[in-house]
Amino acid sequence: MHQAAITGHGVFTPSEIITNDELVVAFNAYADRWNAEHADDIAAGRAEAKEHSSSEFIFAASGIEQRYVLDKTGLLDPGVMHPWLRERADEEPGQMAEMALEACTAALAMADVDASEVDAVLCAASNHERAYPAIAVEIQRLLGTGGFGFDMNVACSSATFGIQAATDMIRSGSIRRALVVNPEICSAHLEWRDRDCHFIFGDVATAVLIERADLAKGPHFLIRSTRCATQFSDNIRNNNGFLRRTRKGHMEDRRDMQFMQNGRKVFKEVLPLVSKHIAGHMAEDGVKAADLKRLWLHQANKTMNDYIGKKVLGRDPEPGEQPNILQDYANTSSAGSIIAFSKYSEDMAPGDLGLICSFGAGYSVGSVIVERMS
Ligand code: COA
């Protein structure tokens, strides 16, 4: 059995930012317009008036201050309320492949690895822009990697599940190197017209290069162990899919064709699931709370992360022990814990241990215990 290591990582961050205040102005204008258009139905009790959103609520409930998006013009236009993304010809790079490239290139450069030395590309994300050909195969062609590529989707846990899949392939000897890449265009599957969730998501792409540990050329993170688990739940769901046109009424503008969640239930059910999962993983690996120098958690909600950090460490995390990036990026689905890892890991000393953990729809939870090596 070989050992696997994360030898490179990278983040592509879109250039457009939407602050909570900008978002709320657009949402409130949309709500006012909708209420005016439906005034008769509202007065007759056939429809409920849309209430205003508020920046104070968003920050207090989530910890989010802003989000990066691929296009803010459509999102901030009360008559549109979705991103406008240019349609591309089949010969052009797709949207996801294009944003994946910058993250992958950064990961390869950090590890001093040429794309041709990579044996596999796993495009692990919570939504893919088309059914086929796989986005991973397109990324393979654009980068010039060898071997094979495939897409996978475990919603917000896609990155850690992808890391486990790549790690297992390296351990068994079937590949030497894999890029696990997470291009997340969450702005295109979020319902920006629903005040309960319109503030939740942002866009980003992350990538990690996983290599056979003995091939690492510089400082790296040895992957000591991985653990993945799923348990079916309907509390986070998106019903859009290829069967849509086979069902009457499904081609209409339906709420369930975008991201839906029962946020309170998710909160209550996912927290114990994740805390138990991490405790079990640490016990299996013989890692004690005092051994962990850093937690890179899924970035959905600050209160959730505070709770999990406290459960795992048995005390309030010190500043820097559990870095959050959600205040700047919002929830970026599978990419969140990898952004935190990418931005807050290079200062770690040889021998330091850390844990990456993602969780979300499915329900799904994935964790990776890494050790810094010189
Ligand atoms: N502005 C102002 N008020 C709002 C609002 C907004 N944008 N959105 C909701 N409210 C109101 C609600 O209507 C509700 O009012 P009520 O008490 O009169 O009924 C109140 O604020 C509380 O709403 P609630 O949805 O219960 O808030 P919350 O504290 O649960 O926070 C989330 C909402 C989504 C931030 C939180 O539930 C969460 O983060 N859940 C887990 C999310 C998660 O991890 N999802 C995974 C996705 S990958």
**For 23-65, what is each residue's pLDDT tens digit?**
999 999 999 999 999 999 999 999 999 999 999 999 999 999 9
What are 150-176's pLDDT values in tens digits? 999 999 999 999 999 999 999 999 999
**Residue in 264, 274, 329 to alter for ligand 1 test, most ligand atoms within 8 A of Cβ:** 264
Distance of alpha carbon 315 from alpha carbon 312, whole angstroms: 8
Angle formed by the axes of helices 55-62 and 20-37, to 10°?
120
**pLDDT tens figures, 331-363:** 999 999 999 999 999 999 999 999 999 999 999
Q: Which residues are designated catalytic?
A: 156
pLDDT digits (tens, 9 = 90+) for 231-245: 999 999 999 999 999
**pLDDT given for residue 265 in this prediction:** 95
Model confidence, pTM: 0.97
How far is ligand 1, taken at its centre, from the CA of residue 331, in Å? 14
Q: How far is the CA of 61 from the centre of ligand 1 (A)?
A: 6
pLDDT at 319 over 90: no
**What is the C-alpha separation between 15 and 36, in angstroms, rounded?**
34
Ligand 1 centroid, distance to 197 Cα (angstroms):
7
User: What is the per-residue pLDDT for 330?
Assistant: 98
User: Which pLDDT value is given to residue 62?
Assistant: 97
Average the pLDDT over 296-314 and give the result: 96
Judged by phi (left if over 0) then psi (alpha if -120 to 50, else beta), residue 317 lies in: beta
Q: Which residues line ligand 1 (CB under 6 A)?
A: 53-54, 57-58, 61-62, 156, 195-196, 236, 261, 263-264, 266-267, 300-301, 331, 333, 360-361
Atom 21, ligand 1: residue with shortest CA distance: 57
Looking from the CA of residue 195, the nearest atom of ligand 1 is 7
Note the pLDDT of residue 114.
98
Residue 124, pLDDT > 90, answer: yes
Among protein residues, the one whose CA lies closest to atom 11 of ligand 1: 196
The answer on pLDDT for 273 being more than 90 is yes
* Atom number of ligand 1 nearest to Cα 126: 48
To test ligand 1's pocket by mutation, which of 267, 304, 306 has the most ligand atoms within 8 angstroms of CB?
267
Q: Buried b vs exposed e over 340-360: b needs ≥16 C-beta within 10 Å?
A: bbbebbeebeeebbbbbbbbb
Q: What are phi and psi of 194, to 5 degrees?
A: -115, 115
Confidence grade of residue 290 (pLDDT, cut at 50, 70, 90):
very high
Residue 360: partners with Cβ closer than 8 Å, 6 or more residues away: 126, 155, 156, 157, 236, 270, 298, 300, 333, 334
